[in-house]
Structure 1
Amino acid sequence: MKNLVFLFIVFLMNMNCNDPKNKTTDKTGEEMIQQTAKEKQITYTINANATIPVAIYFNDIKISEENTPLNSSVDVNGYALKNGKYKIKIQIFPVFRRGDTTVSPEDIKSCQFTFGSYVRNRETGDILDPKTYTQLSLRAPDAPVPYFEQEWEVEIKDLPYDLEGWSKGQDLSKMDKKELEKKVVSFHEKVREILNQGSGNKWADLTKKRAAETAVFYYSNPEQQSTSVSENKTNVEKYCTNMMIPLEDYELKLYAGGKLATLERKNHTMEFNHKSPLDIKGWGALIRKGQKSGAADYRILLYLPEGSNEFVIIRK
């Protein structure tokens, strides 16, 4: 009888352990995607319509290129690690190629921005259920200004995931600036060499943390994620080999309250690699020339995990 009681207790314990409600293990990105219904795969976005140069910041991270007009939407899922309140900052600049040194009130008033969301059908690419939550109205000054800046607070409520990202990163703003810059430059030099050698496998290894989180906030299934990683490797091998320019004319930038670091081009250009106009100020410092003209940058946002001395690429 005692044996029967003992076996019954063991059975109950096993049943309890196998109950999903009692499991506290973290879900993988793949599991999270599979458990998120399509209608819940929400992407938050900032819609912009500006005929003069603008830069958009979200969660204290620059998410658009500087010094270029913007007539599109900029998705923010990659920079919102979880639901909560966030700051949007928009800067508007003079038109460098015209020789402007100020922004007029009329130019500022002509810019339009909204904060909203949508759901994308990953099979067809169609945009479903577009919503606008906030009109980011601009308070233009009465006279021309060297540049214009305004902030708003928005709330994100319906993300079906919670990412670690750089949340456990060290505060780089507390480090000695010269030592930090030396370390960030050294990492960029290493990545530049990998890209210039066309080493797609090494690039994929360096960006595996970024790729894993991108698959989650982009709602990629395993096949789509695998295809994306493969395409990125192929592009490095095909386009970057012996095409990366020297690391030069850069400045250190810190984002996300000091938890992210990168290098960006410091000065304006009127043309670059036989393309005019092309202003690469504010681009990531890792730049490859186009085969005929123009260029593309491989921007990397770096963080230092707690207890580590090695940078990790977490976003772009």
Structure 2
Amino acid sequence: MQDFKQPYYTIYQRMGCAGEIYVNDVLVFSRFGENTKDSSNSSGAVPINQALLESGTYKIVAKMKPRYNKETLSENEFLSLDFNVAEADSGRTKQTKTKILPRLEQPWDGLSENINFPVFELATEIEVKLPYVLDGWQNSLDLSILEEEILFENVFAFYNQIYLVMESHNAGKFLELSKEKMKLQEQAFYFSEERKANFRNGAMQIFTKNLQMIPMNKENLRIQLMGDGKLVRLVRLDGTEALKFKSPDPENQGDIEFEVKLHMRDLKKGFSII
């Protein structure tokens, strides 16, 4: 494999089901809710540099789950993953894209009957080489040792702060709350000053649409720990994100979801978005 000055790692997913993709127990892609019903499919490149904090070996786990309002998988559901690296330098990504592992896919292809799995997992490992070590959640507190009910209440309280900021369409405050995450992404994806500005402007444009928030009720939420207990998020019982704007065009577009992970560097600082 050729050496890259700015390696940009992606997983190209083709998902004909509901499901999730994790890198070292950190969620990088999820697909749930009404957009998974019937025979709808999803495909596209999933960037994963933000979950790769330094060079090393990373475990990839993809979880196939039943479609909306279904309880099990069938022979009609499918999932395949391709693993690529490319030079992130502007204008060279497509020309330098290199496949780094064989395709990973479910072991049936419309030939098996009575599959009936409630979930099916695919797993592999990738070796990555990066020019940086990111200050992420490596040394954050292990939240799994906390009592789940108390943790849920504290996480919900922080999510509610974010919800109120989004409800008031306060883009500046949202960016301030997200600054730690944004810094990590800027480093992970080698953003130039121009790309940093474009990224921030893109985030702010969503808030200028004055979209309505979908209510966030405790009884419709569950807590999810990941990253070996160092990351936490809230997710709705149907698997969709806790924080989301109502779609401006429900006939052609789903709700606008915000995937938010929290960590805690120490008890004094409390939660922050990462």
With the shorter chain as reference, the TM-score category is 0.7 to 0.9
Q: Is the 8 A contact 2:241 2:257 kept in 1?
A: yes
Task: Show the counterpart of 2:59.
Answer: 87
Q: CA-to-partner distance for each residue in 1:54-113, whole Å, 9 max, x for gaps?
A: 3211110221123343311211111110011111111112333xx643323x446x5322
User: Is contact 2:231-2:263 (8 Å) kept?
Assistant: yes
1:28-39 paired onto structure 2 within 5 Å: 39=4
Instruction: State whether structure 2 residue 212 is matched by structure 1 residue 243.
Output: yes
The residue number in structure 1 matching 2:120 is 148
Larger RCO (alpha carbons 8 Å, 6+ apart): 2
* Partner residue in 2 for 1:291: 248
Question: Does 2:72 match 1:115?
Answer: no
1:182 positional shift? 0.5
Q: For 2:247 and 2:70, how far apart are their aligned partners in 1?
A: 28
Task: Map 1:125-164 to 2 at 5 A.
Answer: 127-135=94-102, 136-139=104-107, 143-144=114-115, 145-156=117-128, 158-164=129-135
Match of 2:15 in 1: 50
Counterpart secondary structure, 2:50: helix
Q: Which residue of 1 aligns with 2:186?
A: 215
TM, length-normalised to structure 1 = 0.74
Runs of 4+ in 1 over 3 A off after TM superposition: 137-143
Which structure 2 residues correspond to residues 1-316 of structure 1 after superposition, within 5 A? 39-67=4-32, 68=36, 69-96=41-68, 100-104=70-74, 106-107=75-76, 110-122=78-90, 124=91, 127-135=94-102, 136-139=104-107, 143-144=114-115, 145-156=117-128, 158-236=129-207, 238-239=208-209, 241=210, 243-248=212-217, 249-267=220-238, 282-293=239-250, 294-314=254-274
- RMSD value over aligned CA atoms? 2.3
Taking a change above 3 Å as real, the CA distance of residues 39 and 155 of structure 1, as seen in their structure-2 partners, is closer
Letter in 1 for 2:191: S
Inter-CA distance 204–312: structure 2 relative to 1 (3 Å threshold)? same
Secondary structure of the structure 1 residue equivalent to 2:95:
strand
1:34 alignment counterpart: none
Query: Structure 1: how far apart are the matches of 2:56 and 2:151?
Result: 30
* Aligned residue type for 2:243: L
Relative to structure 1, is the Cα distance of residues 218 and 87 closer, same or farther in structure 2, using a 3 angstrom cutoff?
same
Shift of 1:50: 2.9
Larger Rg: 1
Is the Cα contact below 8 Å between 1:184 and 1:262 reproduced in 2?
Answer: yes
**Between Structure 1 and Structure 2, which shows a larger proportion of strand residues?**
2
Distance 1:308 1:155, change over 3 A: farther
Per-residue CA deviation, residues 119-156 of structure 1 (Å, 9 max, x unaligned), is: 2443x585231111212254458851222112222211
Aligned residues: 255
Give distance in 1, aligned partners of 2:183 and 2:23.
Answer: 21
User: Which residue identity is paired with 1:115?
Assistant: F
